[in-house]
Amino acid sequence: MLSRSEIVREFKRSKSGIAGVAILLGLILMTVYSAVAIPLESFRQWNNPNFWIDHPKAAAPAWTNLGSKVPEHKIMDSRDAEISESIQDGTRTLVHSYSIDFNYDDYPDDFMLPYSAKYGSTQPVLDVSVIRPDGKEFEIYFSSLPVSRSDQGEFSSRVFSTDKQIAESLKRYLGEFQYRQDPAKPEVMVFSDTQEPGVLKGKYTFRETFFLFNPGDSVIDSGVILGGKVYGLMGTDEFRRDLAIGILWAAPVALFIGLTVSIASVLIGLIYGVVAGYRGRRTDEGLMRINDVFYSLPTLPLLVILSVTIGRSIFLITGFLVIFGWVGMAKISRSLALQIKNLQYVEAAKLMGQSDINIIFKHIIPQLLPLTFASIAISVPSAILGEAALSFLGLGDPSIPTWGQILHEANSASATTRGLWWWIVPPGLMIAITGLAFALIGNALDAIVNPRSRRV
């Protein structure tokens, strides 16, 4: 048996073990960073599409924007606008003008015009025109705002570039183009050169004019969101969510699941196996039969059934994984307990009249502790992979982001065949790296403390 300092010394000599610890430290740093720097709200609202509406849709990571430049995401609100106001015949006219320098080689992904206003029974009218760098002006939207539902409350909504009105209005300008244009794609048509297919670079002005008919009405905010084709460190997904946030937040979740499941199942397996091995005879026979039954149960199908019928919260899933996780450790610790119980000091303790429980917990289990730590580390990857597989099948906890769940959504949106690699590569890589860290630590520990693998 090795002393603790000997184990630490040998572990420090193992390069792979150190590498594992380094990766683990990185993951813990990620956890700390996400807890400190990212608002908890983004974690809670992960599956709420309204929370993410200001983000671009399926945008690549910003650092891929090299060579030919694709548009970056632009969010502007009334603070960025040039505002002017005039009154004529009791109608107030509010103009919010947004200037955008558009010098990219590609069209934006889409655009949105959010607004919020306060009005009574007579709805204000919104008129939107775009003044292009070539001097042409396209009036793309002219409509009264929806009937306000609340009496004096604020009304917020947004005009999407996919709005039918916009396509309808743009039909009037088809003649301006020397080639075919599609008014159903305003983000292309508005930003196109009229002479030849291509982007028209320069300064665009979105002019949003509000006509207010009641003295009490007011415009609280307006804005222009130009949907970029690149965004952030890791891009966004189909539901406009910032993948960097999801991937960062999923790190503590994965560590929690991996560690809780492996610690719980290894400890259960340890005690179970030691009791079976120490008591021997019928207890051993009975316990090992039960162990055999658990060993033969189909894990993933039963996990699936459990989460479909009982529930999908993260704590339940952790419990389900423990049910199937303890089997291997029980076998190992039983065979070791069989050896230890015949050692002289255990026999001596027995002769001195110590109780079985005392012997198991004071004399046998402490001998197995180093191996227990190795086993905990070794069984983390399978717990993480198990949860990921369950989430990937769409049966994970729906209220929090996990890497498996992000991949499930990527697969459902057929991200692979649409080339959205930034949605596929990072989550899977994180699963693999996290598993790898624990596998490296576990193998290094196992090589030190497990007499069987020492030989080879």
Q: Is 416 in the site for another protein (CB under 8 A)?
A: yes
Residue 221: which H helix or E strand, with range?
strand 218-227
Strands (E) in 15-162, as ranges, are 74-77, 82-88, 91-102, 110-118, 125-131, 137-144, 154-160
Instruction: Please name the residue that has the structure tokens 């290094």.
Output: 444
CB 184 within 8 A of CB 190: no
| Pairing assessment for the beta strands 154-160 and 110-118 based on DSSP bridges | antiparallel
Least distance in angstroms from the C-beta of 196 to another protein: 30
Least distance in angstroms from the C-beta of 385 to another protein: 6
Looking at this protein, which amino acid is placed at residue 301? P
Looking at this protein, which amino acid is placed at residue 425? V
Residue 49, Cα to own-chain centre: how many angstroms?
A: 14
d(CA 244, CA 34): 10
Q: Is 440 in the site for another protein (CB under 8 A)?
A: yes
Interface residue with another protein, options 305, 328, 336, 400 (CB under 8 A): 305
Q: Is 64 in the site for another protein (CB under 8 A)?
A: no
Q: State which residue, 31 or 434, has the beta carbon closest to another protein.
A: 434
Q: State which residue, 147 or 308, has the beta carbon closest to another protein.
A: 308
Instruction: Provide the token pair at 51.
Output: 């929370």
Least distance in angstroms from the C-beta of 61 to another protein: 16
Q: Is 431 in the site for another protein (CB under 8 A)?
A: yes
Q: Which of 262, 254, 238 is nearest to 400 (CA)?
A: 254
Looking at this protein, which amino acid is placed at residue 177? F
Q: Is 280 in the site for another protein (CB under 8 A)?
A: no
Rg, Å, the chain Cα set: 32
Q: Is 202 in the site for another protein (CB under 8 A)?
A: no
Mask 376-415, x = binds another protein (CB under 8 A)? -----x---x--xx--xxxx-----------x--xx---x
Q: Is 342 in the site for another protein (CB under 8 A)?
A: no
Q: Scanning residues 8 to 37, which ones bind another protein (CB under 8 A)?
A: 16
Interaction site with another protein (CB under 8 A): 16, 289, 292-293, 296-302, 304-306, 308-310, 381, 385, 388-389, 392-395, 407, 410-411, 415-419, 421, 424-425, 427-428, 431-433, 435-436, 439-440, 443, 455-456
